[in-house]
Amino acid sequence: GLPLSPWFSRLFEVTLELTLVGAVIAWVLAIPLCILSSIMRNSASGFFIRILGLLGVSVPNFAFATLLILLRATGFHYYPPIT
């Protein structure tokens, strides 16, 4: 058989890259929105930002991913390959 070390290292690189990019995007969005929500306390905008944050924490990942796939399929007429 073939050695598995190169395959696992490649998968680890991709996983690490996706994790870091996701964390950076989350921080770049979350920190300014938290500051904005605290500045605009008791306003409609602050309330909307808090609700958005609660939904982001409360909705399970699989449900959010399914919603994104459906949105992309209906809005952009792109259907993911089933292979």
Q: Is the pLDDT of residue 24 over 90?
A: yes
| CB distance 41 to 29 below 8 Å | no
Residue 5 to residues 1, 2, 8, Cα–Cα distance (Å): 12, 9, 5
* pLDDT tens column, 39-58: 998 899 889 989 988 888 88
Instruction: Give the confidence band of 7 by pLDDT, cuts at 50, 70, 90.
Output: confident
DSSP 3-state of 3? coil
More confidently predicted of 83 and 21: 21
Q: How far apart, in whole angstroms, are the C-alpha atoms of residue 3 and residue 73?
A: 39
pTM above 0.75, yes or no: no
| Angle at which helices 44-58 and 5-39 cross, to 10° | 150
The pLDDT score that the predictor gives to residue 83 is 62
The pLDDT score that the predictor gives to residue 74 is 85
